[in-house]
Amino acid sequence: MDRAFQRTQILTNHLLRSSPPSPLSSNACLSYSPPELSENNAFDVEEMRNLIDGHNVEERDWLFGLMKQSRLFNPRVRGGKVFVSPDYNQSAEQQREMTWKRIEYLLGRGAFERWLTEKGEEIEMRRFAGFEVFSIYDHSLFTKLGAHFFLWGGAIEFLGTKHHHEKWLRDSENYLIKGCFAMTELGHGSNVRGVETVTTYDSSTGDFVMNTPCESAQKYWIGGAANHATHTVVFSQLHINGTNQGVHAFIVQIRDADGNICPNIRIADCGHKIGLNGVDNGRIWFDNVRVPRENLLNSVADVSPDGRYLSSIENPDQRFAAFMAPLTVGRVYIACSAVYQSKVALAVAIRYALTRRAFSLKPKEPEVLLLDYPSHQRRLIPLAARTYAMSFAANYLKMLYVKRTPRSNKTIHVVSSSFKATFTWNNMHILQECREACGGQGLKTENRVGHLKGEYDVQSTFEGDNNILMQRVSKALFGAYMAAQKRNKAFKGLGLEHMNKPCPVIPSLLTSTTLRCSRFQMDALCLRERDLLNRFVADVSKCKAEGKSTQQAFLMCYQLAEDLGRAFSDRAIFQTFIEAEATLPAGSLKDVLGTLRSLYALICIEDVSYLRYGYLSVDNGANVRREITKICSELRPHALALVTSFGIPDPFLSPLAFNWIEANSWSSV
């Protein structure tokens, strides 16, 4: 009866055009109430943004502005606001042309100035900021720039020597040369050492001859190869006088200045993809391609004119590791950009949850705001805490990278592998949760959240498959353990110093105060890492004692390896959170970060591994979960400020984050 009455009332109101009653009463038409007018910022969102963006904030705003003000970035007005996002309804061919036009525009405005021709911390941080901003606009833009600048440009920088730098870097920075990076083959991805492309040296002519000997050796997924690239770095086996010297990198021209494919090169398209259709991924075959001798990137090894192989690194394993340097920086870029996608999705989902209502608790009462449901808070707010944690960790990783020394290479490799895998997995999880939290609206491409899943899924496997990267992390930890044990020395590096201290003890009853204490949180994370490392070493040793090789033993112990990798990541990320918090003076910013830090720690400790390995009693497990719900409701009033601090400008979010009623009104059809 109630329902029938309500409907009649609504109809009567429409017919009589009487002035509507309070918009919150259950029978009025819904009206959009901007969250800015009802939510208060308890802390300075600009300061928070500066803290979590960490660097080059002015540069970021300039780049955002460059994109917002140009027609090339497809501005559309929805609900009275301008949004910029590519038109994903265009054909892949059209999207590729648009990506290229956007790059030309940014180039003309000086967005890439000094990106390749200058070295040092300042320019590297600026480049990081640029890539993060471009990734917020479109993953294709990020990826196409990434293939050119950090893969092609990085290969020349890291693997080439002075004459390569002089010859190629300036022209690449100005896009007189468009580069790509041909490493992956149909038959070999993560296992780069297995690539089948073969290059031999012809001492009679003084140049190399490159071949694709079989179909599985075709280069695959080469970003930029299908339409635009003029040059590529090719990873190929190098055969000298019948001896395979392993994988080396060569510069090969694949198109002339007019865009015609060079002789003896065949190129085909990789076809339509689940995302990144604005990138022209291609496949390449080489048929006796002649490559000048000086095009061997020779920082590690060289071939003399008479055909002798010369290398400063005798050990082929170490030689190969040196070739992988450009991929390390790629992982840093990918990890950092993943965090920004989580920011976009959370900003949209939380802003929507602050304006969308569903169901009344009692008849005739106003419907309840999505974010006022404890369950909805529980879904989204911990993800915001995780994203804050990842932001600090990303800033740490960038600093680690730009301040690199030969001694820190190992740490950079381990941390970048671990963070790349963890952030990109977290991101996919966050995107899915946010998509569902937006309901059906999350399915519209223009609302971004759902679409980002297709666009960013690739991050789990490119620049190293996440599972393989995490196995490498565990192996590195194993190595650190064995090194410390063998030399009977203390652990040093990778944050493992806690292994030198007595094993932390978790109190048998976890109170709210304990659960929010950073000391306890760190202890709990260290305890798990320590125990899993001990177990992993024990299990691997056991396998070896049973006669298996070290490699076989690692393969057998993959379950522990996975848990250990995760434990390392969680603890390392947490460490960066604590350090960021410590830099702040007492005040509202520090207070809210302390609460977020506790929430992040507790969702790590809530992980099933704590029960699986018995670090927490069932009762304490319940205490942790109860505390999480409490913190979620404490952070609820800060929700808007927390996502505003992500610093994603309105035009780069989506209509759903703002006046979604007006954006869908008949007058806007």
Partner 1 sequence: MASSQHEQVLVEEKSFARILTLNRTKQLNALSFQMDDPNVKLIILKGKGRSFCAGGDVAAVVHDIRAGGWRAGANFFMKEFTLNYLMATYSKPQVSILNGIVMGGGNGASMHGRFRVATENSLFAMPETALGLFPDVGASYFLSRLPGFFGEYLGLTGARLDGVEMLACGLATHFVPSAKLPMLEAALCAVDSSDPAIISSIIGQYSERPSLKEQSVYNRLDVIDRCFSQKTVEEILSALEREAVDRREGWISTTIQTLKKASPTSLKISLRSIRVGRLQGVGPCLVREYRMVCHVMRGEFSKDFFEGCRAILLDKDKNPKWEPSKLELITDTTVDSYFSKVKNEDWEDLKLPARPKFNLPPYVIAKL
- Which residues contribute to the site for partner 1 (CB under 8 A)? 22-24, 31-34, 36-38, 44, 46, 58-59, 61-62, 64-66, 68-70, 79-81, 108-110, 649-651, 658-659, 662, 665
- In the complex, the smallest distance separating the C-beta of residue 173 from partner 1, rounded to whole angstroms, is 16
Which one, 65 or 363, has the nearer CB to partner 1?
A: 65
- In the complex, the smallest distance separating the C-beta of residue 499 from partner 1, rounded to whole angstroms, is 42
Give SS3 for 414.
Answer: helix
In the block, which residue shows the tokens 């038959």?
Answer: 187
Which one, 6 or 70, has the nearer CB to partner 1?
A: 70
Which one, 132 or 157, has the nearer CB to partner 1?
A: 132
> What letter does residue 666 receive in the DSSP assignment?
G
- Residue in 287, 293, 289, 286 with CA at minimum distance from that of residue 204: 293
Burial category of 446 from C-beta neighbours within 10 Å (exposed 0-12, middle 13-18, buried 19 and up): middle
Which one, 266 or 364, has the nearer CB to partner 1?
A: 364
In sequence order, the β-bridge partners of residue 282 are 222, 269
Measured CA to CA, the distance from residue 649 to residue 524 in angstroms comes to: 37
- Residue in 235, 225, 387 with CA at minimum distance from that of residue 297: 235
Which one, 25 or 550, has the nearer CB to partner 1?
A: 25
- In the complex, the smallest distance separating the C-beta of residue 80 from partner 1, rounded to whole angstroms, is 3
In the block, which residue shows the tokens 């990890």?
Answer: 335
Strands 179-182 and 231-240, how do they pair?
parallel
8 A C-beta contact, residue 508 and residue 500: no
8 A C-beta contact, residue 426 and residue 342: yes
Which one, 14 or 290, has the nearer CB to partner 1?
A: 14
- In the complex, the smallest distance separating the C-beta of residue 201 from partner 1, rounded to whole angstroms, is 47
Measured CA to CA, the distance from residue 480 to residue 81 in angstroms comes to: 54
Measured CA to CA, the distance from residue 64 to residue 62 in angstroms comes to: 5
8 A C-beta contact, residue 417 and residue 472: yes
CA distances from 245 to 123, 194, 325 (A): 35, 12, 19
Which one, 236 or 659, has the nearer CB to partner 1?
A: 659
Q: Where are the alpha helices (DSSP H) in 546-668?
A: 550-556, 558-582, 588-605, 609-612, 618-635, 639-644, 660-663
8 A C-beta contact, residue 219 and residue 287: no
Which one, 525 or 653, has the nearer CB to partner 1?
A: 653
Q: For the chain, first and last CA: distance in Å?
A: 36
Which one, 352 or 396, has the nearer CB to partner 1?
A: 352
CA distances from 503 to 133, 198, 500, 524 (A): 43, 52, 9, 10
- In the complex, the smallest distance separating the C-beta of residue 29 from partner 1, rounded to whole angstroms, is 10
Give SS3 for 44.
Answer: coil
Which one, 207 or 662, has the nearer CB to partner 1?
A: 662
- In the complex, the smallest distance separating the C-beta of residue 651 from partner 1, rounded to whole angstroms, is 8
- In the complex, the smallest distance separating the C-beta of residue 68 from partner 1, rounded to whole angstroms, is 7
- In the complex, the smallest distance separating the C-beta of residue 197 from partner 1, rounded to whole angstroms, is 42
Which one, 288 or 360, has the nearer CB to partner 1?
A: 360
Which one, 122 or 436, has the nearer CB to partner 1?
A: 122
In the block, which residue shows the tokens 């705003």?
Answer: 61
Report CA 585 to chain centroid distance, whole Å: 30
Measured CA to CA, the distance from residue 476 to residue 466 in angstroms comes to: 15
Question: Measured at the alpha carbon of residue 16, what is the angle toward residues 14 and 21, in degrees to the nearest 5?
Answer: 65
- In the complex, the smallest distance separating the C-beta of residue 310 from partner 1, rounded to whole angstroms, is 45
- In the complex, the smallest distance separating the C-beta of residue 314 from partner 1, rounded to whole angstroms, is 47
- In the complex, the smallest distance separating the C-beta of residue 278 from partner 1, rounded to whole angstroms, is 23
In the block, which residue shows the tokens 């109630």?
Answer: 2
Tokens of 157: 């920088």
- In the complex, the smallest distance separating the C-beta of residue 662 from partner 1, rounded to whole angstroms, is 4
Which one, 107 or 517, has the nearer CB to partner 1?
A: 107
- In the complex, the smallest distance separating the C-beta of residue 157 from partner 1, rounded to whole angstroms, is 24
Measured CA to CA, the distance from residue 346 to residue 438 in angstroms comes to: 10
